[in-house]
Structure 1
Amino acid sequence: MVQRTGLRPSPAVHHPDPNAHALRTFAEGRYDKLHPPYDRPGTRLFQEFCDTVVQRWQLQNHVVTAAVTRLETLQKRPFRFRLTLSTGNTVLARRVVLAMGGGQPYLPDWGKQISATYPPERLCHANQIRLPALNSLKGETVLIVGSGLTSGHLAVGAVKRGAKVVMMARRTFQEKLFDAEPGWLGPKYLKGFHEEADMQARWQMVQQARNGGSLTPAMMTRLRQLQRQGHITFYEHCQVADAQWQGDAWKVCCDTTRCMIASPINRFTASGSPRERPWISDLIPY
């Protein structure tokens, strides 16, 4: 999903430079571009800062365009990893950082059971949506499945283009400034994490810290305003049980008897977890 949000949902110390205070130094004279609390940077300031980091560390020509197809641990000293690329080449590395983004969209079981042929733009993942390319959704009802910030931006964007929006989540919509507590960016929580030697226990700590998607207070306020105006309806503690394309709209049923979308759904959007890459599951079987 591509949309200009104007503000990074992360503190000023959360950036790619090794110096935690580098962004604040870069913003000297432009402190109005750092927003309270936690001095969250504007997207333009953050992009300019990242450009300077790339220049300073001469990273311009160090991007290899290829997909990793296999990741192995080599037991010989010194301990290293071997990565096999889609080009057939291999790379040896002492450390590997997994920063893979959203990955490939994952289609749940109910999506795989859809028998009718439907227009591809009528059921898609958030990663496949380009809001600026959607001119008008007037008269349409859009169902957005997911409870994170991406879902919020999609909902606001759809309403701006004339749609009515149904937002569905399998839990209560959470209002938080950050998905994870800021203490995870420093020793407050990381100390115990680093002291834990068991990798599976670490994995569980990460999952508990992430605790699913959330909406910032500003986004939640905006969504509630749109709800009061009749543009958005919230369905909480609901999951899609069945979806069928009938005529020119979706008929969607939830997994609870009290929840069935009465009006036809013109467009269907899902956000959230992507499909895992098999080579990661082989390496980290949690």
Structure 2
Amino acid sequence: MLDWLVIGGGVHGTYLSLALTLGGRVARDRLRVLDPHVAPLERWNACTENVGMEFLRSSFVHHLDPEPFDLRRFAPSRPRRGERAFLGRYLRPSLSVFRAHSENVIQKHGLASLRVQGEARSIMAIPGGIRVDTTEGALDARRVLLAIGMGDQPAIPDWARSLREEGGCVHHVFEPGFVRAQMAPFRHVVVVGGGISAAQTALALAKRQEGSVTILARHPARVFAFDTDPGWMGPKNLDDFARVADHDVRRHLIRHARHRGSMPDDVASALRRAVHERRLSLRIAGVSAAALIDGNIDISLDDGGAPLVTDTVVLATGFETRRPGGAWLANAVQELGLRCASCGYPIVDRSLRWHPNLFVTGPLAELELGPPARNILGARLAAERLVQVA
């Protein structure tokens, strides 16, 4: 029986596998990370590549190494090839520097060797721990940490789903299997979404100079440096959040703290410049109807203007807000009697414990950790608590 099994090998699972084993807190042969992908951060890397990310939205202190300034120290050791390592007053790292640093941390600490490739199918309580049934067999552990992200539930509007069922060329930028670099040639592509991912994707597609690009957003650019106010990165807001006992109120605070559909100023400026230079078009409207006509997609809009006619739609509409994990986790909630708030998300204790042998991080921990829970900062906040029970 393992001491710890981490389900999910993205940023959270990878960071926490390091935090738990660092300094011998948990013996390396007593911890494993279950993930369907071969390499650490494989899914995260694919998503950032698909949107054409150039700089992360988080600051330089948020990365895979427990030492906050490690990325800043690492950057000068890497050949620059003319690129900027950091951007703006918050020193947001370039994607290439962040990836190189992540690979360095993973290699230095041997984190790839902790991985077991497979997917969870069910979990059940056993004497002294949890049994996880996976696609590759059963794994038993004294403690299981759910490090599940939102990546497997991209939000697809009903009109887009119907078009896809009819044979229309509709992609979601975060859908497993989608690779922007391998998209079929297009005459006109419509990128749907109003936030940073939509803007980055549209800019990346415009660089192909293959066909025309239109970004369709329901609102003008909402410009914020981060996806939550900086106050949520420090103790004041987080301490106030912790004093709120009502989980419905906590959900309300989380919802209103997040700047959904927003982007930082550098991305908004690049978008405005591209529109001004006619490298892409911007349409502010919602979709009222969509149909597949003679192989083209006809999108009617609620602004009273002419419809958009396109051969390809790329959705950058984020993720569904429901609790991640799918059917197997829903079954576990019922079978193990796991407490959930009215929004469906876990009610956990200060140690992020959902069950005597089951812990959470990432989105599943947000009713305890607050608005930063999903981000890299959230992994660090989770680690501070989990190492106390390791």
Give the TM-score, by structure 1 length. Answer: 0.79
How far is the alpha carbon of 1:267 from its aligned partner? Answer: 1.0
CA distance in 2, matches of 1:203, 1:190: 14
Instruction: State the one-letter code of the partner of 1:36.
Output: G
In structure 2, the CA distance between the partners of 1:230 and 1:55, relative to structure 1 (3 Å rule), is closer
**Is 1:217 aligned with 2:265?**
yes
How far is the alpha carbon of 1:190 from its aligned partner? Answer: 1.9
Q: Which residue of 1 aligns with 2:300?
A: 253
Q: Which residue of 1 aligns with 2:89?
A: 37
* Structure 1 residues 127-206: aligned runs within 5 Å: 127-128=174-175, 129-134=178-183, 137=186, 140-162=187-209, 163-206=211-254
In structure 2, the CA distance between the partners of 1:181 and 1:268, relative to structure 1 (3 Å rule), is same
**Is 1:262 aligned with 2:310?**
no
How far is the alpha carbon of 1:250 from its aligned partner? Answer: 0.6
User: Structure 1 residues 150-159 or 16-25, which shifts more?
Assistant: 16-25
Match of 1:64 among 108, 111, 116: 116
Q: Deviations over 1:125-157 (max 9, x none)?
A: 1125433334854xx222111122221122112
* Counterpart contact for 1:149–1:215, Cα < 8 Å: yes
**Is 1:273 aligned with 2:318?**
yes
In structure 2, the CA distance between the partners of 1:29 and 1:135, relative to structure 1 (3 Å rule), is same
How far is the alpha carbon of 1:103 from its aligned partner? Answer: 1.4
User: Structure 1 residues 36-45 or 226-235, which shifts more?
Assistant: 226-235
Q: Which residue of 1 aligns with 2:54?
A: 6
Q: Which residue of 1 aligns with 2:147?
A: 98
Gaps of 5+ in 1: none
In structure 2, the CA distance between the partners of 1:69 and 1:170, relative to structure 1 (3 Å rule), is farther
SS of 1:157's equivalent?
Answer: helix
Bigger helix fraction: 2
Gaps of 5+ in 2: 1-46, 346-390
**Is 1:108 aligned with 2:153?**
no
CA distance in 1, matches of 2:165, 2:180: 26
CA distance in 2, matches of 1:278, 1:28: 42
CA distance in 2, matches of 1:5, 1:196: 36
* Identity fraction in percent: 22
* Counterpart contact for 2:194–2:221, Cα < 8 Å: yes
Instruction: State the one-letter code of the partner of 2:190.
Output: L
* Counterpart contact for 1:147–1:214, Cα < 8 Å: yes
* Counterpart contact for 2:173–2:180, Cα < 8 Å: no
Match of 2:98 among 21, 46, 49: 46
CA distance in 2, matches of 1:125, 1:174: 22
CA distance in 2, matches of 1:246, 1:182: 47
* Counterpart contact for 2:156–2:317, Cα < 8 Å: no
How far is the alpha carbon of 1:253 from its aligned partner? Answer: 1.8
Could you say what the CA RMSD is over the residues aligned between the two structures, in angstroms?
Answer: 3.2
How far is the alpha carbon of 1:95 from its aligned partner? Answer: 6.0
In structure 2, the CA distance between the partners of 1:90 and 1:253, relative to structure 1 (3 Å rule), is farther
Instruction: State the one-letter code of the partner of 1:266.
Output: D
**Is 1:118 aligned with 2:167?**
yes
Q: Which residue of 2 aligns with 1:20?
A: 68
CA distance in 2, matches of 1:180, 1:263: 33
SS of 2:62's equivalent?
Answer: coil
Give the TM-score, by structure 2 length. Answer: 0.61
How far is the alpha carbon of 1:21 from its aligned partner? Answer: 2.4
SS of 1:89's equivalent?
Answer: strand
Instruction: State the one-letter code of the partner of 1:38.
Output: Y
SS of 1:127's equivalent?
Answer: coil
How far is the alpha carbon of 1:186 from its aligned partner? Answer: 2.4
SS of 1:60's equivalent?
Answer: helix
Q: How many residues align?
A: 276
How far is the alpha carbon of 1:260 from its aligned partner? Answer: 4.9
CA distance in 2, matches of 1:71, 1:193: 31
* Counterpart contact for 1:175–1:216, Cα < 8 Å: yes
CA distance in 2, matches of 1:68, 1:234: 42
CA distance in 1, matches of 2:274, 2:162: 33
